[in-house]
């Protein structure tokens, strides 16, 4: 089974997946918070997994799913993985625009 660390190290693992495919990795995990997207045209429609410290502060590492329908990135759903040290990677379908 894929782990959160596997996803952060190799975000391409997410290609073709939807949030329900990986949500079990984050449920009941005190190091990660699950939320919806807070802004933009698809507000509330995307899913965001944010790493948190034991004090409840965000570390900056996120795994985010956007439902697509964007003039900027195209019509396909896509993932955004930000690791801090590794930067930000976006993974989408065939009509995805970087």
The tens digit of pLDDT for each residue in 5-33 reads 999 999 999 999 999 999 999 999 999 99
- Chain segment 41-98, per-residue pLDDT in tens: 777 789 999 999 999 999 999 999 988 776 666 678 899 999 977 789 989 866 555 5
Task: Show me where the domains of the chain are located.
Answer: 4-92
In this prediction, residue 55 carries a pLDDT of 95
Provide the 10 A C-beta neighbour count for residue 17. 15
- Closest to 58 measured CA to CA, from 19, 84, 78, 25: 84
Instruction: Write down the pLDDT at residue 11.
Output: 94
3-class SS of residue 90: strand
Q: Determine contact, residues 86/71, Cβ cutoff 8 Å.
A: no
pLDDT of residue 63: 97
Q: How far apart are CA 86 and CA 98, in angstroms?
A: 17
| Tokens 């570390």 found at | 59
**Phi/psi of residue 63, each to 5°?**
-130, 120
């Amino acid at each position: 089974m894929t782990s959160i660390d596997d996803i952060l190290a190799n975000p391409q693992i997410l290609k073709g997946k939807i949030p329900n495919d990986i949500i079990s990795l984050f449920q009941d995990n005190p190091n990660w918070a699950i939320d919806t997207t807070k802004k933009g045209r698809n507000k509330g429609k995307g899913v965001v997994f944010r790493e948190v410290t034991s004090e409840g502060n965000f570390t900056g590492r996120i795994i985010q799913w956007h439902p697509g329908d964007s003039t900027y990135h195209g019509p396909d759903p896509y993932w955004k993985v930000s690791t801090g040290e590794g930067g930000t990677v976006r993974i989408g379908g065939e009509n995805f625009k970087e």
